[in-house]
Amino acid sequence: MSHNLFDSRKTFKLASGKQGTLYSLPALEAAGVGKVSRLPVSIRIVLEAVLRNYDDKKVSEAHVRQLANWQPNAARTAEIPFVVARIVLQDFTGVPLLADLAAMRDAAAQQGKDPKIIEPLVPVDLVVDHSVQVDYYNRPDALKLNMELEFERNKERYRFMKWGMQAFDTFKVVPPGIGIVHQVNLEYLARGVQHKDGVYYPDTLVGTDSHTTMINGIGVVGWGVGGIEAEAGMLGQPVYFLTPDVVGVHLKGKLREGVTATDLVLTVTELLRKHKVVGKFVEFFGEGTAALTLPDRATIANMAPEYGATMGFFPVDAVTVNFMRNTGRTEEEVDAFESYFRAQGLFGVPKDGSIDYSSVVELDLASIEPSLAGPKRPQDRVLLSKMKDTFNTLFSKPVAENGFNQPADQLNRRYATGKDELKIGHGDVLIAAITSCTNTSNPGVLLAAGLLAKKAVAKGLKVAPHIKTSLAPGSRVVTEYLSNAGLLQSLEQLGFSVAAYGCTTCIGNAGPLREDIDKAITDHNLVCAAVLSGNRNFEARIHANIKANFLASPPLVVAFAIAGRANIDLDKEALGTGKDGQPVYLKDIWPNSHEVETMMKFATDPAVYRKLYSDLTKDLPLWNAISAPTGNLYQWDDSTYIARPPFFDAAAPKVGDIKGAKALALLGDSVTTDHISPAGSFKPATPAGKYLQGHKVEVKDFNSYGARRGNHEVMMRGTFANVRIKNLMLPPKDDGSRVEGGYTLYKGEQMAIYDAAMKHIADGTPTVIFAGEEYGTGSSRDWAAKGTQLLGVKAVIAKSYERIHRSNLVGMGVLPLQFKGNDSLASLNLSGDESFDIGGIGASLKPQQDVTLTIRRKDGSSQDIALLLRIDTPIEVDYYRAGGILPYVLKELVSQ
């Protein structure tokens, strides 16, 4: 950061009178490099990083010129080398990444190098937030008991993290019990502007969780990447990506009374999914944007993965500066933040017409109505007033139409559970969870939930005790302000006592249901419901046996818990009967905006943030009690949680055509990373269950796939093992429905996908996966790509890909190929007994070229079709040739 390309290194004044140095974007425009002031704000921040990190090697003058001359609708062929300021990890992705770093150190040492050459070159923060499960709930000691179980289950992982803290200079851990990574990032880790050697620059990052985009709410450029890509970024590789389209979202007007930020974000998600923003930057502008609170902006930014965008970006303005001050940043930091963005001409929400966008979408905030989303995808919005009709219609609709394929005459039947004379039926709410970073970082909706609870308690309303209720705040700040506002007690009276500080229900850690209830669901094939304030509701994610999952605002979560069923019209039907014997309706207890605003002072007290973030280990005796090994090299043992990964053992593969491949699975549309690499629990009869039992692990100690991500033996056995995945190679059942679960055919015999994959590897037969639209939607789960590679899959052929998973496949040396035109799995009429050749993968491999798929059928006929190679950039070609991004980076570091 000492060059002066285009005379862009300038000084600027801070409000305190101090002087700083920056790489000036206005100076680029003055030098005639490009019309920088018309560029989207998000592009300008990336441009600053490219300019500042110019070294004439990885970042060239041509890169600066290309981006400074970004055109709204040009062909996207140029790649941007983006050097980020820092990296954040959550523990499910952070542990395997740390295992890879430890294995890279082993490999470096074996080649006679100092293992310390493997060292993060930018600050890395790992926040432990995915490991706690809701085993205990609706009791005052639920938090304590859940954390004790968490430490019992995860002690080996936490020892490993503590080793990492002492082994690597720039690697820090935020311990369990503090909060969710994105909320901790928003409230504490993000400093707005960084400075090094006197040079000030914007905070930028990538994170190993797709909801890293929450930080876009405070004007920070950052997004989710797979752990594979984050690792390369840590070790000095720029994050490479194609120059993006930028979709401007023009927000007008303001939200009506009674409409929440959750209603807004579910509407934005539906709108932008329809606009097809996958792989694009989305940037919000206009007067409606400027009028939004910072938490509302962060809520919208958080859901970028659900609408498919790389980012959902909000520029910095006075609202952002006030948020930084209210959350306990120092005056010096707040001064640097505001002064820097003003000096760069980046301060303020742009007005209509001031920026050139690739396309513009308009949304009138006054048009938004109370909503939920579900029952299987976050983009399927349901008006609150239509919940009853929607559920009842979907109940008997076919699965292909998002339905449950149940006989309509069964809808109102109820069944005994064998306990408490309790009967349950279709549509019953069995899980009600205030959870996930999306909403628990927003005081507006959490205070609204508390106020609704207070009014409900005053009316004498209750939640049935069999409903699993939980409150899992995104940080300890939430508990403090709900308590100070006098609202926590009312939530507790309705069953919403604090159960954990972590992702819990939203990530699949809802924990078990009562055994008799679970049995009644499976015995009678019931379509029961979960209502959660989360961001994901994909099949089998929340709970394996809960089929209808609805995303809702925290106050609606409380309301549906009181009502006890999802198929209710809360506009017309009573929530319950009050202590005076009169019906109580939602409108009777819904808080108004003035009531919420009156409570907001409790959530904007900087002293609370400073107190709770000043010492992250003070109140955590369980964490402090864990002893950890020391040294630069990790001493691998026989742990079933942490095993040395095999990704550095093999020589670089010979790149060439794939011959005689067999299909391992034929999959439909919207196959998520949850389908490919589930995070939840697994049964004893699964390949992963058998492996652990073979290593003397009792069933009660299995934990989850997510917690076992440091052990490739478990994770490869769990690949394609989701209980709801449907492999179309398997013949339909007698009733026409599809077999569910991770099964395939090997030479006509049905078996687990893992078992068949091992047989194909033993035969020397390469395998391929076929899929439909949106393959790899969902969490940025690197094991979805790592597991695919370890199963011997050489290529995935899909109709379209979600951004992170496509990148992860390349990063693991698996070819992502895309059908062209009208070609698809259905049009090719594949059954799975064909063999396949893929030609054109030779020495002259180029990004986005065509390759040829030759299908050889059992009747002796063959067919050639062209596929698009979704290796998108030149650097990805290099990664593929090396056998993946990790071997590529290791070779580069060892050869220095």
Give residue-wise pLDDT tens across range 78-94: 889 999 999 999 998 89
Beta-bridged to residue 584, according to DSSP, are 576
pLDDT, tens digit, 9 for 90 and up, residues 134-175:
999 999 999 999 999 999 999 999 999 999 999 999 999 999
The per-residue pLDDT of the chain, averaged, comes to: 95
For residue 422, tell me if it sits in a domain: yes
Question: Do 556 and 433 reside in the same domain of the chain?
Answer: yes
The reported pLDDT for the residue numbered 519 is 96
On the question of pLDDT at 57 being above 90, the answer is: no
| Cα→Cα distances 772→376, 413, 718, 736, 782, Å | 17, 36, 21, 20, 20
Structure tokens at 461: 């309303």
Rounded CA-CA distance 225/211 in Å is 10
Question: Which of 51, 82, 113 is where one domain is finished?
Answer: 82
Per-residue pLDDT of 380-405, as tens digits, reads: 999 999 999 999 999 999 988 989 99
Q: Are residues 843 and 709 both part of a single domain?
A: yes
Residue range of the domain that includes 60: 8-82
The last residue of a domain, from among 57, 82, 107: 82
Kindly report the CATH number assigned to the domain that includes residue 796. Answer: 3.20.19.10
Question: Which whole number is the average pLDDT over 841-855?
Answer: 94
Q: Are strands 199-202 and 193-196 parallel, antiparallel or unpaired?
A: antiparallel
Strands 199-202, 204-207: pairing is: unpaired
Residues 597 and 666 in one domain: no
Q: Are residues 577 and 675 in the same domain?
A: no
> Pick from 572, 587, 604: which residue ends a domain?
604
Local confidence band at 734 (pLDDT 50, 70, 90 cut-offs): confident
Query: What local confidence, expressed as pLDDT, does residue 737 receive?
Result: 83
326 lies in some domain:
no
Are residues 594 and 665 part of one domain? no
Give the H/E segment covering residue 280: none
pLDDT at 1 over 70: no
* 554 in any annotated domain: yes
Same domain? For 392 and 471 the reply is: yes
Q: How much of the chain, in percent, has pLDDT values that exceed 90?
A: 86
Domain for residue 697, yes or no? yes
The answer to whether residue 644 sits within a structural domain is: no
Does residue 214 form part of some domain?
no
Exposure letters 176-203 (e unless 16+ CB within 10 A, then b): bbbbbbbbbbbbbbbbbbbeeeeebbbb
pLDDT at 646 over 90: yes
Average pLDDT over residues 647-671: 92
Task: Say whether pLDDT at 332 is over 80.
Answer: yes
Q: Are residues 388 and 531 in the same domain?
A: yes
Burial call 554-563: b when 16+ CB within 10 Å, e when fewer:
bbbbbbbbbb
* Domain shared by 689 and 598, yes or no: no
Say what the pLDDT of residue 237 is: 87
Mean pLDDT of 326-346: 97
Which CATH number belongs to the domain containing residue 393 in this structure?
Answer: 3.30.499.10
Are 810 and 712 contained in the same domain?
Answer: yes
Residue 110 has pLDDT above 90, yes or no: yes
Q: What's the pLDDT tens digit per position in 287-304?
A: 999 999 999 999 999 999
Q: How far apart are CA 613 and CA 605, in angstroms?
A: 13
In a shared domain, residues 715 and 796: yes
d(CA 582, CA 285): 47
Whole-number Å distance between alpha carbons of 269 and 659: 42
Q: How confident is the model at residue 232 (pLDDT cuts 50, 70, 90)?
A: confident
If one counts the domains in the chain, the total is 3
Provide mean pLDDT across the span 636-657.
91
The band of 226, judged by pLDDT with boundaries at 50, 70 and 90, is confident
Residue 668: the pLDDT is 94
Site of tokens 């395998």? 767
- Same domain? For 559 and 665 the reply is no
| pLDDT at 531 > cutoff 90 | yes
Residue in the structure block whose two tokens are 């055509």: 657
Q: Residue 846: inside a domain, yes or no?
A: yes
Q: What pLDDT sits at residue 780?
A: 65
Q: Is 362 among the domain residues?
A: no
